């Protein structure tokens, strides 16, 4: 009997090897896909390269016709002009940087906290109207900031928060994009059996949320950080913030761009400066972002 069992086990092992699927594509197909993806990647990176080249072009190369893609005589004069122009402002340049960094960090932090809490309740708790509420959240994704600008201003005015940092921070904290991503990621990545096991062991809801849910949804909140940095870093706040000392960096740099043709070089440098922070965040979190996008629409 023991010998028979050993033979049967060996047959099972052989059968596993027999049914092991091989590569779905040939080598020629893999090479073709690789070349196609390389071509698409080069095409998509061209605007980034063009922005970098423009930032280091002198004025004579910016206005030459036909335009040149690459810079011939790189210079730092455009960045020096930004420093000269900002030094003429009665508000220090460091104040604009502080305003933008402060609003970006605070809005991002609280947006992740509130969106995660709301997504956890919507996905893992049963209550009347849960599905209707989620449909309303999905519907709100259709409205752009230009559409919600007037309602946000009216609400902030009623609350007495116009011309303060909160006029930009609070509306973004309640944004629906992060809530949608977090809820969908919890649907596909956190099984209900895991949470039930934690409750049986005596864990509180707060302990489950902080010790189990938040570590498992790290790719989702890394994606939310990217979107938050992109939105808040590019927010000018010109319709809700009027005091010059409270305005963000985007507004100050935007005034340089609108200075006419003489400031075209400084404007090109501004475009590169505004691109660096969101691009840096994306580079450091791209793995988690791709993981979120790949699994946010799946459900077991």
* pLDDT tens digits for range 36-71: 989 988 888 888 888 888 888 888 888 888 888 888
Residue with more model confidence, 10 or 85: 85
How many other C-beta atoms lie within 10 A of the C-beta of residue 123? Answer: 18
pTM of the predicted model as reported, rounded to 2 decimal places: 0.73
Could you tell me the domains of the chain? Answer: 26-75 (no CATH), 81-295 (1.10.3720.10)
Whole-number Cα distances in Å, 72 to 75, 76, 154, 175 = 10, 13, 51, 44
Residue count (the chain): 300
C-alpha 246/C-alpha 79 separation (Å) is 24
Distance of CA 207 to the CA centre of its chain: 27
- Report how far apart, in Å, the C-alpha atoms of 167 and of each of 93, 162, 230, 293 are: 22, 6, 18, 30
Average model confidence (pLDDT) for the chain?
80
- pLDDT tens string 243-299: 888 888 888 777 777 766 777 788 888 888 888 887 887 777 666 666 655 555 444
């Amino acid at each position: 009997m023991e010998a028979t069992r050993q033979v049967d086990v060996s047959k099972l092992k052989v059968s596993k090897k027999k049914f092991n699927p091989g590569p779905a594509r040939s080598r020629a197909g893999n090479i073709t896909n690789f070349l196609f993806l390389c071509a698409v990647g080069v095409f998509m990176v061209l605007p980034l390269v063009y922005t970098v080249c423009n930032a280091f072009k002198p004025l004579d190369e910016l206005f030459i016709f036909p335009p040149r893609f690459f810079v011939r005589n790189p210079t730092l004069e455009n960045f020096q002009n930004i420093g000269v122009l900002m030094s003429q402002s009665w508000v220090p340049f460091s104040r604009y940087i502080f305003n933008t960094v402060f609003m970006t960090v605070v809005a991002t932090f609280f947006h992740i906290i509130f969106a995660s809490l709301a997504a956890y309740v919507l996905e893992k708790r049963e209550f009347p109207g849960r599905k209707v509420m989620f449909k309303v959240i999905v519907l709100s994704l259709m409205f752009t900031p230009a559409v919600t600008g007037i309602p946000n201003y009216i609400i902030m005015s009623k609350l007495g928060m116009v011309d303060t940092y909160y006029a930009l921070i609070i509306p973004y904290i309640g944004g629906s994009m992060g809530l949608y991503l977090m809820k969908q990621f919890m649907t596909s990545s956190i099984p209900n059996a895991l949470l039930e096991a934690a409750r049986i062991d005596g864990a509180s809801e707060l302990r489950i949320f902080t010790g189990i849910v938040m570590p498992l949804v790290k790719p989702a909140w890394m994606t939310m950080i990217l979107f938050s940095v992109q939105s808040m870093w590019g927010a000018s706040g010109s319709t809700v913030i009027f005091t010059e000392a409270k305005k963000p960096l985007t507004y100050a740099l935007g005034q340089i761009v609108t200075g006419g043709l003489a400031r075209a070089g400084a404007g090109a440098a501004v475009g590169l400066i505004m691109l660096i922070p969101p691009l840096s965040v994306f580079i450091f979190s791209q793995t988690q972002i791709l993981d979120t996008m790949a699994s946010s629409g799946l459900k077991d």
